[in-house]
Amino acid sequence: MASPLKSVRGTRDILPPSSALWQHVEDSARRVFARYGFLEIRTPIFEATELFARGVGEETDIVSKEMFTWEDKARAQSEKSQSLTLRPENTAGVVRAYIEHQLERTGLLQKLYYIGPQFRRERPQKGRYRQFYQIGAEVLGPTTSGSESPVRDAEIITMLVDLLDEVGIKGWTLQINSIGTPKVRALYNKALQEALNRVVHTLCVDCQRRAIANPLRVFDCKVPADQPVIQHNLPNIHSFINDEVGHESFNHYDGVLKILKAVGVHFETNYRLVRGLDYYTKTVFEFTHGALGAQSALLGGGRYDGLSESLGGPRAPGIGFALGLDRFVMTLEDDPEFKLPASATITYGSPRVYIAPLSAAQDPDAAKLAHELRGQGIACHLGDGSFKMRKIFETAEKLNVQYVVIVGEDELSSGVLSVKDIITGEQRKIVRYALASSLK
Ligand code: HAM
C-alpha cells in the first residue's frame, strides 16, 4: 500500500472544533474594524519578489532568508519571466495596491484591513509556522488627509485593545517605541556603526554583515551569546530622538503617548524595540503574551511614512499592524477560563437538531422538513432512513445534538412529530407548524 501523504513541514490543517475559535477571532476583528471605519482589501497571495525586497528590505531576515521565491518562466512571447514570491506579509501588498489604484485621488485616509495566509520559511516550532495567518489593518493617505497625525497611531493601538477585549484575550503587554524619522536614523546608524566596530568581532556572522549593510538589523539577532553584547554596548535611539534633529520624532511620539494615556491604554516603553522590517519610521509597537512562550508576539506594527515612495508611489504616510491569528487562537486554547461566547457557539458550533427519517420511504419528507427548518434559521443535521432507532440515537449523541426529530409514517400522516430531548430524556409531540419555534 502507498504510504499516506502528510501536510508539508511548517503547515497544518485547522480542524473543527478549533476552527470555531478561528472564526470567532476573525468575526470579532471584522466587528471591531467596522466600528473604526475600516473596510476590507484582498490582495494576491503572490507578488513580484521585488516588492518585498524594496518594501520590507533586503537585509531583513524575512527577505534574506525566509521567502518562498521561484522563477516564473514566460509561457508566451507576450509574457516576461519574473521572480515571484509567496507574500511573507501584507503591508507591502496593500501599499502596492494603494499606488496601483491611485487611491490617493480620493484625498481621504484609506483604512483597510485584511485576513489571510502569509508564508515564511522559518524553523517551525510552537507558534511559528511556514504558512501562518494574519489579520492586519493599514491607514494611509496623502499628508493632507491627516495620515501623519499621532491621532492615527493612537487610534490603531486603541482599536487593538478593543479587539483583544472583544476576542477575550487577557493578560497582554503593550510595548511601544519610536525609531525616529530617516534623518534621526541616519545619525543613529552612524553612532551604532561606530559602537559596533568595537564589538562586531564578538558577534555572529549575520551581525557582522548587518553591522555594515544595515546596523539597525543587529537588534533582530536571536543568537543567545550575542544578546549581552547587544544589550550593553550599543547606543540608545532615544538620545537621538530627544535632540534637535529629533524634535519632530519626539513631538510625534509624545503626541501618541498623550492620547493613549487619555484613552486609558496601558503601555510600556521599550527603547530596544525596533521590529524586523525596514519600512518603519517613528512609532513601532508590539503586544506580547506570556502564555505564548518563545514566540511571545501576539501582534506587531508601526508607522511607515516612506514606504509608498520607496515603491515608486506618491507620498503616503501610514501606520498599521498585523496580528498572528495562529497565536491568538493558541492563547485562547491555553486559557482555561476562556469560553466561546454563546452567540459564536450558535453561529459556528454544530447543529443542536437531528432529523431522523425512520425508513427510506420518509427520506423525501425528512429532507423537506430539514430544508424548511434551515430556511427558518434552525441548523440541523439530516439522517437517512437506513439507520435503525439505536443507530439514530448513537449518531445523535456523537453529534452532540440536543433534539432528535423522528419522521415516521405515523408522524407524517398525523402532522404531529415526536421530538426527543437527549439531555433530559423527555419526548414531546409537536405539531409540524410549531416545530421551528419550539426548537429555537
Ligand atoms: P510581523 O511582526 O512580521 O509584522 O508579523 C506580525 C505578527 O504575525 C507577529 O506578531 C506574529 O504574531 C505573526 N507571525 C509572524 N510570523 C509568524 C510565523 N512564522 N508563524 C506564526 N505567526 C507569525 C508584519 O508582518 C507587518 N506587516 C505588520 C505591520 C502592518 N506593520 C505595519 N503594518
Mean pLDDT by 10 residues, the chain (440 residues): 94 94 97 98 98 95 96 91 97 98 97 98 95 98 98 98 98 96 92 93 92 90 91 89 86 97 97 92 96 88 98 98 98 95 83 97 97 95 96 96 96 95 95 93
CA distance 130 to 286: 21
| d(CA 362, ligand 1 centre) in Å | 53
CA distance 58 to 55: 9
At 174, list the grid cell. 503593550
**293, 127 in Cβ contact below 8 A?**
yes
| d(CA 184, ligand 1 centre) in Å | 25
At residue 222, the pLDDT reads 87
Paired strand residues for 300: 286, 322
136 lines ligand 1 (CB under 6 A): yes
Rounded to a whole number of angstroms, the distance between the first and last alpha carbons of the chain is 49
| d(CA 286, ligand 1 centre) in Å | 10
Spell out where 141-188 has E strands: 172-178
By C-alpha distance, which of 65, 68, 118 is closest to 91? 118
pTM for the whole structure: 0.94
At 230, list the grid cell. 547587544
286 Cα nearest atom in ligand 1: 10
Tell me how far CA of residue 326 lies from CA of 31, 38, 44, 329, in angstroms.
Answer: 19, 22, 21, 5
327 lines ligand 1 (CB under 6 A): yes
320 Cα nearest atom in ligand 1: 33
At residue 440, the pLDDT reads 85
Which amino acid type is present at position 183? K
299 lines ligand 1 (CB under 6 A): yes
134 lines ligand 1 (CB under 6 A): yes
At residue 293, the pLDDT reads 82
289 lines ligand 1 (CB under 6 A): no
Residue 27 CB-density burial (10 A; 0-12 exposed, 13-18 middle, 19+ buried)? middle
| d(CA 301, ligand 1 centre) in Å | 8
66 lines ligand 1 (CB under 6 A): no
At residue 95, the pLDDT reads 98
List all residues 6 or more positions away from 103 whose beta carbon is below 8 Å from its beta carbon.
97, 110, 141
Which amino acid type is present at position 233? N
Q: How far does Cα 192 stand from its chain's mean position?
A: 33
Instruction: Identify the residue whose C-alpha is closest to ligand 1 atom 13.
Output: 324
List all residues 6 or more positions away from 197 whose beta carbon is below 8 Å from its beta carbon.
211
| d(CA 3, ligand 1 centre) in Å | 35
- Which of 22, 89, 121 is the pocket-test mutation for ligand 1 (most atoms within 8 Å of CB)? 89
At residue 242, the pLDDT reads 81
Which residue is associated with the grid cell 502596492? Answer: 96
**106, 319 in Cβ contact below 8 A?**
no
357 lines ligand 1 (CB under 6 A): no
| d(CA 134, ligand 1 centre) in Å | 7
Which residue is associated with the grid cell 506618491? Answer: 314
| d(CA 159, ligand 1 centre) in Å | 17
12 lines ligand 1 (CB under 6 A): no
89 lines ligand 1 (CB under 6 A): yes
At residue 291, the pLDDT reads 84
| d(CA 127, ligand 1 centre) in Å | 11
At residue 272, the pLDDT reads 87
Which residue is associated with the grid cell 525616529? Answer: 180
At residue 89, the pLDDT reads 98
Q: For residue 182, what is the enclosing H or E element?
A: helix 182-199
> For the chain, how many helices (H) and strands (E)?
17, 16
